[in-house]
Structure 1
Amino acid sequence: MRLQTEVKLYTMCMIQDGSRILLMNRPDAKGFPGYIAPGGKVDFPESIVNGAIREVREETGLIVKDIIYKGLEESCEPNTGLRYMVFNYLATSFEGELLENPPEGELVWVDLEEALKLPMQNWFKRRFPLFFEKGTFELSEIWDEKTGIVLEETVKQYPARLPQLAGFAD
């Protein structure tokens, strides 16, 4: 008998303003405590990118304009059939004002060079630099929830530009 699978779709959007980025300091009570970029669940039937734009607006009050797809991080748990997929974006322009009472945690503009010194989840710290590199990334792991052991891992980075194909103009 084949295990039934469940797919959960999420987004994360790093917002950059020059040398600063916007992070959220999530309290323990919200889960994933520490500094993190805005994001959340994709509602059916919205597109992934529209889910990212909506989540940023709900969590920060900002409306992102120039949004770039940066990559996918996924985790699969073979015992439960869970596939958790996070689509990651970088926004380099926005409009609006930050919420005074954000629902997910305090919003803080942080210097990009200082960000990794802040307390954050290991999985976010690992993914953080990939938002700012050229091209896209794919991080995938198969893990055992009971033991906390990663059984298999795939890490790929793709160039910003594919090699020129013969017969195709630039």
Structure 2
Amino acid sequence: MDRSEKAVLTNMCMVCDDKGNVLVLDKTDPAYHGITFPGGHVEKEESFTDAVIREIFEETGLTVRRPQLCGIKQWQQEETGARYIVLLYKTTQFSGTLCASEEGRVFWTPLNKLHSLHLAEDMADMLHVFTDDNISEFYYLPQSSFEYVLK
């Protein structure tokens, strides 16, 4: 019995400084816009860690080090049947000069003020996975793009 399935692999990273701030991206993509953490797709034959380091650099100009996997967001895409997986990372180690990209404007904001910004869809719920060590998964229930569980 074949247990393989088609999957889309992506990542997102919460970069934190030593002052209680997080790095955010104000995405301009019409399909997914608003304030989110930077990240993107894992390329074929690329390691997950290399992918998140590359994506953060491309979108922010910063080079992150030692990103730690803190959770997963996943759902089945209705159009393709593929499982869409977002590997969630966080780090406090980075260097470089912050700069915007074609993805949108990037800036630092206090983590405790993040909820007052115009967040991207389900970003407020995803924050629980990034900040609560007892939650490691954000999963949309099959057959429903509106119901999800945090595990």
TM-score, normalisation: structure 1? 0.77
Query: 3-state DSSP class of the match of 2:16?
Result: strand
Asked if structure 1 preserves the Cα contact closer than 8 Å seen for 2:27 and 2:35, the reply is yes
State how far apart, in whole Å, the 1-side matches of 2:36 and 2:94 are.
Answer: 18
Query: How far did residue 13 of structure 1 move?
Result: 0.6
Q: Where does the alignment leave 5 or more consecutive residues of structure 2 unmatched?
A: none
| Letter paired with 1:106 | R
2:137 maps to which residue? Answer: 138
Bigger drift between 90-99 and 117-126 goes to 117-126
Asked if structure 2 preserves the Cα contact closer than 8 Å seen for 1:57 and 1:63, the reply is yes
1:35 maps to which residue? Answer: 35
Deviations 1:21-76, CA, capped at 9 Å, x for gaps: 010111254x3111010000000101111111110011001010131110111001
Asked if structure 2 preserves the Cα contact closer than 8 Å seen for 1:39 and 1:56, the reply is yes
State how far apart, in whole Å, the 2-side matches of 1:131 and 1:120 are.
Answer: 15
Q: Where does the alignment leave 5 or more consecutive residues of structure 1 unmatched?
A: 157-170
TM-score, normalisation: structure 2? 0.86
Bigger drift between 84-93 and 134-143 goes to 134-143
1:155 aligns with 2:150: yes
State how far apart, in whole Å, the 1-side matches of 2:27 and 2:136 are.
Answer: 25
1:124 maps to which residue? Answer: 123
> Rg: which structure is higher?
1
Query: How far did residue 140 of structure 1 move?
Result: 1.8
Label 1:139 to 1:5 Cα distance change in 2 as closer, same or farther (>3 A).
same
| Letter paired with 1:107 | V
State how far apart, in whole Å, the 2-side matches of 1:103 and 1:79 are.
Answer: 27
| Letter paired with 2:126 | R
Asked if structure 1 preserves the Cα contact closer than 8 Å seen for 2:26 and 2:35, the reply is yes
Query: How far did residue 150 of structure 1 move?
Result: 3.9
1:23 maps to which residue? Answer: 24
Query: How far did residue 154 of structure 1 move?
Result: 4.3
Name which structure has the greater RCO, CA cutoff 8 Å, separation 6+: 2
2:60 maps to which residue? Answer: 60
| Letter paired with 1:155 | L
1:162 maps to which residue? Answer: none
1:93 maps to which residue? Answer: 93
State how far apart, in whole Å, the 1-side matches of 2:147 and 2:93 are.
Answer: 37
